[in-house]
Structure 1
Amino acid sequence: MTNISMSPFTNKIEWIDPPRGFIMPHFILYKGDEDPDRHLKYYHNTMILYRNDDVLMCKIFTTTLKSEAQDWFHTLPSQSIQSFNELSFVFTNEYLSNCSIKMTSDYLFSIVKDPRETIRDYVKSFKVGNAKIVGCNEDIETAAFRNELPTEHPLFEKLIMGEELTLAASYALAEKHALWDEAKQSNKNESEKKHMERSPTKEDSALETFTKFTVPIGQILRKLKNERWFELLPPMKGDLTRLDHTKYCAFHEGLGHTTNGCLKWKQYLEKLTNEGRCDEYLDRSTKRPTQARYSL
């Protein structure tokens, strides 16, 4: 390497030859907008074979800088750097505002399981928080992981009753409970699905026995609703936002389903048919069902 004019390095660092067989590693460049400590750790790991070569560590480090960081390096006073430790110090001090906040073990006790959060999500949150703390005592980690669970959760009981459980063992036990919770939720969803796909009720079965007409039953409604004996139902109640606003029922005078598909209208129409009020609309080619009473 050749001498750089006005270099921050001393002459000792300036004049060096790379070790035999040295191959320049490929570095992720630092431009001054990230944590300097993280970049130094990354540099140390990449240069692990040459950590004892202080001169080489200094010279190669400069090649990992770009943009603002490279500009900063060239503002250092001539021959101001005596060692890599000095270079690391001034580098970290320059970009101190970018350093990640160092968390203490107290931070772990703030990671509380949310009631809506699954055990698996809680474990993920705790691991992310724990990764921010360097050198935390494992007993403290295990206690924090256990104590921030709801006391009524079965996992809390297992952890507090377990003898000298390590953090890894606590994670493993939590995984089993997560699988158990997911299995229960899956069974619940399956049960609800089966309930929705229930077998036809007597009311549903009655759909197949309704009288056949020669015109759509919505047209019959328009003909009959002005008769003095005709009884319209009141509009449907409930959460109207959940109804299908593309469908309208003239019998209920509301949204949610069509007139031709309205079960209540079919039941009422069957009553009127049995009373002989719809004879002109009957489909004579089909056999009428046995007369029955329907309640609205």
Structure 2
Amino acid sequence: MKAKVPKKFKAPDMTQYDGTSDPSHHLSNFSSRIYLTDASDAIHCKAFPTTLTKTAIKWFNRLPLRSIASFDDLAKKFLARFFIQKDKAMHAPSLLGVKQGDRESLRSYMERFNKACLDIQNLSTEAAVMGLINGLRKGPFTHSISNKHLTSLNEVQERAKKYINMKENCQLGEASKSGFSYPSQNKDKESREKEDQPTEKPRKYHNYTPLWVSLMDVYKKICNIEKIPPPHPIKHKRGGSRTEYCEYHRIYGHPTNECYDLKNVIEKLAQEGKLDRFITNTRDIPK
């Protein structure tokens, strides 16, 4: 199809489609944007490839010559080729995996949840409300809404906003009464980072028994045959890395394999002679 592109015509400014997401979203986005240009059907066909990249543009370039009769024809071929990607789009049940972290603020959780909702098509209000409440960490806000029959996501968000503002105002009021003056933004950030750093645990043993498997693998297996003492609570640690999780403490901030509390527990068992049989039985566990 030959079409002369007007000099003043400007292709839609939008994210290029690479073939890995829902094609119907991209097609709808393109159609709504190019509709404002009042371009002809032939220009639609010329402009559409400029919004494709990677696998998608390779597919377009391989289309047989003169195989497209109209933009409607091109759209149908596009949807047919990438239709399988629709199954990979997020659905309402995926919201059940959005949980508020042990030390995550309500504000941060609400922002993450709202962002997750944007990726779900045809999300019902009931599913959104259920997912939001289900992901909340138990606490004052959870208790405040547990006895209320909330059917509107906006109502839950408004209540959350009021709770966040009230809590932040209380913190500011307490700081003001105590005569505390807030430092500059950079200094405040530095102090928070220092406070967030875990206090290094002293080494209880001079030498630790070499293990043939990782500390986390030992911990997962030993739980089934030995009584493991509960971990000591970690103080002075408000946050930590969200990518590092300790199975022993059940908190984010440091990886299981670098947990000194767990190392001390495992070493004690090793010195009591309770770890020899375990290590022998777990040579096949990958490191």
For the pair shown, which has the larger CA radius of gyration, 1 or 2? 1
